[in-house]
Structure 1
Amino acid sequence: MSGREIHVVVVGGSWAGITAVRQLLTLSRETYPRLLITLIERRTHYFHKTGIIRGLVDSNYAKQMFIPYDRLFAQSVSKFNHRIVCSRLTKVYQSFVEIENGARIFYDYLLLATGTEYTSLPVTQSTTARECRLMYQIMRDAIDAADHIVFIGGGAVGIGMCGEVAEMHPEKHITLVHARDSLLNDDLSTGFANATELRLQKMGVEVILNESVISSAESSCNSNSNGIRRRSSVSNMDVGRSGMWEVFPQKLVTGSGRHIACNLAIWTTGSRPATDYLSTLPVSNAKTPLIDTNTGRINVRPSLQLTDANYPNIFAIGDVNSLPLSEKYATSAVDQAKHAVAGIRILIDECYDFRAKMSPSMAADSALRACMDSYSATMKRQQAVVVSLGKHQELSTSLFARFSSWIHGSKRGRRYLIDRAQRMLNY
């Protein structure tokens, strides 16, 4: 047991970050009473992004998606005051981080769980519960008013949104446009993608593959920085951010020259993590960059430490890291958080102090070797991918998950794990 004070900073209060905080609280309570936890989160409330597509059509569900953080540390028995800092991370250094007001927060271990956001879904950019509710209402109003909706991007979010809207509004003409020859991600089987496409078509969704939307033929509109079409007359800040959801006749033009008429275009592409905060961290080896230049995600070892051996005390978990997309679902984020905290515990047990005890590369290799058994048991196991299509239908890559859904009546599709999120935050 370490007798010194240990400060762990977790950045990001979504699914992976909250799981990590809970694991650290257990570690503090049972093993390291001098462990201090700081959570840095830019939102005032937990925002349940796992259920973001349900909130677009169900106002009652949306009301449950904003959960205060005030009970997160309620069950802690440590004499140290764990804390929550409501701010945005701007810079990372080797022993401290800097937030938007310029304040510095020092750490022994840093867990980055900043996730990714769809810039075309304005609700994900909101920082307060009130602003989120306003954005949701504007987006729902647009969906209600539109006759023909085109979703651009056939990943999990685009497919889920199609399923939700098709189930709630069977009278609407819904089209899904995807640039590849099959839906979803490359790391999922073609058979699963084809089954998803067939299920959408049975729900009345028109699926167009191998087409990229490049512009709109509607001359009265212009594009914002995300390529989203909106009327040029929109100027108010709140309306401007959500103006991309304004309903008006338009024709989308694809790369092949095809025109698709609609009166609401919703882009579900372009998710990218914000990792600019790592630009202040020196890279020790050009062959192991901190950021993947293609995806913008943080490169990590199997132990979830940064690939740069100079920073064995910095971990990246959840959507922000470079693991395959099949590892980006909520259950995988839980495994990653547990695995990272297990790595931190190993380093603490070995009295790792990157300023004196051992070289950073030795510490990184030590944690990697010690974590491999845990990694093999969790991160390398086959993860079940579940795609929900409304409240009553879902598809899964796992036979067990499909059987469980049949037994429980598609429990995930009805609630999107919101009950579990409430329990995690002691609500």
Structure 2
Amino acid sequence: MTGSPSADPAPVKNVVFIGGSFVAISAVMKMRTAPLPPGYRIVVVEPHNHAHYMFGFPRAAVISGFERELFVPYDNLFATPETGVVVHAKAISITRTEVKLDRAVEGFGDSITFDYMVYCTGARHPSPGNLNDSHTKAEGIAVLKSYQMRIANAKKIVIAGAGAVGLELAAEIKEHYPEKTVTIVHSRDRYMMGYKMGIHSKSYGILKELGVHQILGDRLIIPDSGVEDGVLCTLRTKLGKEIECDLLIPCTGMTPNSDVLATLSPAVINPANNLVRIKQTLQIDDDAYPNIFAGGDVVDSADIKTGLSAFWHADTIVQVNKPFMKPSMWLVFDLTRIGLSRTSSR
């Protein structure tokens, strides 16, 4: 735990953030200038001991020298333990007023009571775009250095999936190792479907100039045995293309971390995508729990899932999650106007 709660004769009311994500960090920083009323404290529950600056991971998976800078300690998030603490544990279940932890933590035990909660656990992505299971800085650096070595030793690299991570990874590899063969395979007929066509055109042009082989509108058939690093094999696509490969890097799929909230309200999870249904106030879409909010990549909203959207979610949550505000005073926000919406970005 970063910081320790001080003894206080009056009961402390907790505003708990599940997940030390950009939503939580941004909300905490905003609350420095608009603090909670006396008697309230922020508690961030996060299993990682450092915040992950994941936007730099694709480059750090290729180029060495700055891995350490991408893992930021939570130590200075709060000025005093009275205003907030970071609890390094994993939330495993939630009740109406309590978060159950996977371990006992000093000052709390194995559970934390709350008056308000913000669920901002994000989503799992394949590494190296996201290092979900690297709980320490050393573990995260080791994963990135492992990718650096694997990429340096490979000659024919195939990237499956061309979201933001896949596109940047392909460009970083080919720019740093122009002698290597890099192929990117994407199931859609253009890149970054949620954005304007210009984003696709620019991305396609950069990769073409670098010499990346681009296959759009097709999918890789990955053998059950996978692809062994350093062993040349031939991969096939569903449309019959053949690609030589000695290193396969999957960059497809996003799995929302909504399972813990489902222990409280299964109905709030959209079965079509496992995202959390929310109201325009960013309260979860269950009238039984007006004190529980959600934001970031885990929510089922119209905006595109970016860091910018997470910051806007945090701004909304700060404004409507003040404990001294009555429900009738909660503001309503149009989520299509927060961050980059799927309409405005086209």
Normalising by structure 1, report the TM-score.
0.71
Summarize deviations over 1:45-70 as a string: whole Å, max 9, x none.
Answer: 11111222121123222120111111
Equivalent-residue separation in structure 1 for 2:195 and 2:96 (angstroms): 37
Equivalent-residue separation in structure 2 for 1:181 and 1:315 (angstroms): 36
Equivalent-residue separation in structure 1 for 2:100 and 2:268 (angstroms): 18
Question: Does residue 67 of structure 1 match 2:72?
Answer: yes
Equivalent-residue separation in structure 1 for 2:319 and 2:30 (angstroms): 9
Q: How does 1:23-422 map to 2 (within 5 A)?
A: 23-28=30-35, 32-74=37-79, 76=80, 80=82, 82-101=84-103, 103-121=110-128, 123-185=131-193, 187-216=194-223, 222-223=224-225, 229-231=226-228, 246-282=229-265, 289-324=267-302, 326=304, 328-345=305-322, 348-350=324-326, 363=327, 366=328, 370-372=330-332, 375=333, 380=337, 383=340
Q: In structure 2, what residue type is equivalent to 1:82?
A: G
Equivalent-residue separation in structure 2 for 1:87 and 1:315 (angstroms): 20
Is the Cα contact below 8 Å between 2:309 and 2:338 reproduced in 1? no
Normalising by structure 2, report the TM-score.
0.87
Task: Could you tell me which runs of 5 or more consecutive residues in structure 2 were left unpaired when the two chains were aligned.
Answer: 1-9, 105-109
Summarize deviations over 1:64-103 as a string: whole Å, max 9, x none.
Answer: 01111111113x4xx7262211111111111111111271
Q: In structure 2, what residue type is equivalent to 1:348?
A: F
Q: CA deviation at 1:384?
A: 9.2
Equivalent-residue separation in structure 1 for 2:259 and 2:227 (angstroms): 28
Equivalent-residue separation in structure 1 for 2:86 and 2:30 (angstroms): 16
Q: In structure 2, do the counterparts of structure 1 residues 381 and 273 end up closer, same or farther at CA, with 3 Å as the change threshold?
A: closer
SS of 2:321's partner is helix
More helix by share: 1
Q: In structure 2, do the counterparts of structure 1 residues 54 and 26 end up closer, same or farther at CA, with 3 Å as the change threshold?
A: same
Q: CA deviation at 1:154?
A: 1.1
CA-atom RMSD in angstroms: 2.5
Q: In structure 2, do the counterparts of structure 1 residues 81 and 190 end up closer, same or farther at CA, with 3 Å as the change threshold?
A: closer
Is the Cα contact below 8 Å between 2:182 and 2:212 reproduced in 1? yes
Is the Cα contact below 8 Å between 2:312 and 2:339 reproduced in 1? no
Summarize deviations over 1:165-210 as a string: whole Å, max 9, x none.
Answer: 122122211111001111123x223343233212211121111011
Equivalent-residue separation in structure 1 for 2:27 and 2:276 (angstroms): 18
Q: CA deviation at 1:255?
A: 1.6
Q: Percent identity?
A: 29
